Amino acid sequence: MAAKQKALVIVESPAKANTIKKYLGAGFTVKASVGHIKDLPKSKMGVDIQNGFEPEYEVIRGKGKIIADIKKSAKTVDMVYLAPDPDREGEAIAWHLAEEIRPSNGNIKRILFNEITARGITEALKSPGELDEKKFDSQQARRILDRLVGYEISPILWRKVRRGLSAGRVQSVAVRIIVEREREITAFKSVEYWTIECHVEGENPPSFRLKLVKLDGKKADLTNGADAKSVAEALKTAQYLVEKIERKERKRHPLAPFITSKLQQEAARKLRFTAKKTMALAQRLYEGLELGEEGAVGLITYMRTDSTRLSQDAVTEARDYIANRYGADSLPDEPVIYKTKKQAQDAHEAIRPTSMKYDPETVRRLLAKSAIGDAEKVRDLEDQVRLYQLIWNRFVACQMKPAVYDMTAIDVAAGRAGLRATGQVLKFAGYTAVYEESQDETTGHEEDPDSGLLPEVSEGERLKLLEVKPEQHFTQPPPRFSEASLVKELEEKGIGRPSTYANILSTIQDRGYVEKKEARFFPTQLGTRVNDLLVESFPDILDVTFTAGMEDDLDKVEEGEVNWVKLLERFYQPFKIDLDRAAVEMRDLKREEIPTEHKCEKCSSPMVIKWGRNGEFLACAGYPECRNTKEFVRRPDGTVEIAVQPMTDEKCDVCSAAMLVKRGRFGSFLACSRYPDCKTTRPISLGVTCPKKCGGFLTEKRSRRGKVFFGCSNYSKTGCDFVSWDRPIPEPCPRCQAPFLVKRENRKGGGKTRCLTEGCGYEAVPAAAEGDAA
């Protein structure tokens, strides 16, 4: 009989398992569950509502062999340590693992790794604990809530709107926020206003600019050009007298180390990463990267946290690093302590480097050695280093002295006008030597002074006018949400939790309710329609305050203040009433026909607006006898205008009629003008033959998430797999004479043109783009 080993450690990730093995030694076996092993069934509700919301868990497909292997290992050891991630999802994984393992080995303990380092693992093994039933109950309650909403509302949407649609307890609220922002933008009425700036000089250089701030002792409020011109004319002949000079020192303090939401926001602003990408990269930094001969090293602490707490060891290490790298002048007398929000879970530290030994340049150098010759791996590793650099800089900066600025404000009188010049000069860099926060992350800086030095002037000094410049402006609507600002909005409104933001943003796009264009979120017509139906039929579920309150209640379940079954009962009783009402009263878009003033040119029957798989369209009211349909657009006043479909020189392969350009769910395509009598369609050629020599041509396509890409017209016929994210253009390569190039366009319309031929390496950047880049 084989001798028993010391212990079995079970984590979720194979990458984490590999890193941990390095620290534990021969006495331990390390296995990975590869995520959850059990979940509610996909084919049915899986919740017994009448019996205390009892869940029906089943083994996830493909996990049977993993469970069998883990159980086999559990029989050969004295102790089993369950070490999935230290959060609610991790606790659920640990709970289900324990249920499977207990018949084979009842000696089970729970350990939590805040960092995958020798120190973090040693500390966890020194103080093993029991499974946290309250944390599991909280996760279970959330999972059941989401199942109840999704599996009971979605069938109604299938019947009323379109098969395959779904609703989500949190995601639907996020869609509502985006839809309501779009309506604010549409309803916004721009207002004209004017500013006046005067360029002046005093006895000492340099010249400087004054801004009009007061008229007749009141705040200047110029709303039209005539008033602005009148004031400007008066300013041209006025005498400029310095009334007051104010000089003071201003300190700007560093921000706290990253929590999950702030990391997602700042990575979106600075690195242009999606929340999903940020969390995936952070997971790998936490679990461990191969650093050459040193093996796998966990580089950051656990990345799902809303606490700004730092361990004493980490602060001491950071202060030593700052003193050595930036000098003692950059170090505060005492460590900086940041307050964590009241509702935050304080179980974990803030996101920080696990050791100051691994600075970003060292990590970059060690990772580069492991990726030599693999260009794709190099790009992937560089993104990891960029995120690590961001976390590193924020952590170092948070323990440094504030930045100090010399601030100057000069008030000037000019007739009935009061003008002001403000300026600031950096006196002491402090933390800004390491890290500058993004502008929209800070608060209260909307009226920050202009950077730069103002001249020495004295009270009573007369200034010489050089130029008066009135300028017209218009108020702007609120901006559409970016990744960063939407995460910030969800956080501020209490919708979801930091660990769920990335999934929320991905899901609302995957479902086709929202699309991202030029890095901003737009609601789709489908998203707007579904949102309006849900808001009307389920006012509580779609209410921001209600959803935020539910998140607080889930936190209270984890804290032992609320029973999870009672929480579900309170939720379900009014929800069931809304469900029954919606099944009868919700608008049936599938059958709804909205009359228009247009007539069918084929049978003279009225044309009505109907809802189909690709949104609204015009259809003949004489259906099914007449199957005429048309696209249309809505004018700003709400009336309907029939869209003219571009006629082409292309002829239908079947009936020789002219082909029209139409737009469908996956982009533009050619369709026979005799539709529905002839239903022939084909893709639109870009004028480039497929390089795979399959006889097809390249055409624009659109993914299920709405992202444009380019592929072969023969994909559905022969399975040709050519694909490019860059647009093919019918221009031969000047270097290797390949028949086409590809162009990656940027937001300004320019972009890099390159050849896809392996080994060619031809690239061309337009001169304007090069200038912009410079």
| Max Cα–Cα distance, the chain, nearest Å | 105
State the Cα–Cα distance between residues 691 and 669, nearest whole angstrom. Answer: 21
Identify any residues that bridge with 406 across adjacent strands, giving them in sequence order: 249, 425
Between 501-510 and 171-187, two packed helices, what is the crossing angle to 10 degrees?
70
Please tell me which residue in 57, 240, 302, 326 is annotated as part of the active site: 302
> Pairing state of beta strands 5-11 and 28-32?
parallel
Phi, psi of 719 (to 5 degrees): 80, 20
State the Cα–Cα distance between residues 448 and 451, nearest whole angstrom. Answer: 9
Q: For residue 409, what are its two tokens?
A: 């404000």
Degrees to nearest 5, angle at CA 606 with 601 and 611: 105
State the Cα–Cα distance between residues 161 and 165, nearest whole angstrom. Answer: 8
169: CB partners within 8 A, 6+ apart: 145, 146, 149, 150, 541, 547, 550
State the Cα–Cα distance between residues 168 and 541, nearest whole angstrom. Answer: 9
The gap from C-alpha 605 to its chain's centroid, in whole angstroms, comes to 48
State the Cα–Cα distance between residues 542 and 167, nearest whole angstrom. Answer: 10
The gap between the terminal CA atoms of the chain, to the nearest Å, is 71
Annotate 214-238 with DSSP letters as a single string. EETTEE--B-SHHHHHHHHHHHHH-
| Helix then strand then coil, % of the chain, to nearest 5 | 35, 25, 40
Residue given tokens 């709804």 in the structure block: 592
Is 302 designated active site?
yes
Cβ burial of 122 (10 Å; 0-12, 13-18, 19+) is: exposed
Phi, psi of 27 (to 5 degrees): -75, 0
Instruction: For the chain, give the number of residues.
Output: 774
645: CB partners within 8 A, 6+ apart: 630, 631, 660, 661, 662
Residue 258 per-residue DSSP state: B
Provide Rg for the chain, Cα atoms. Answer: 32
Cβ burial of 151 (10 Å; 0-12, 13-18, 19+) is: middle
Q: 89, 97 in Cβ contact below 8 A?
A: no
State the Cα–Cα distance between residues 509 and 515, nearest whole angstrom. Answer: 6
State the Cα–Cα distance between residues 176 and 539, nearest whole angstrom. Answer: 11
Residues involved in catalysis: 302
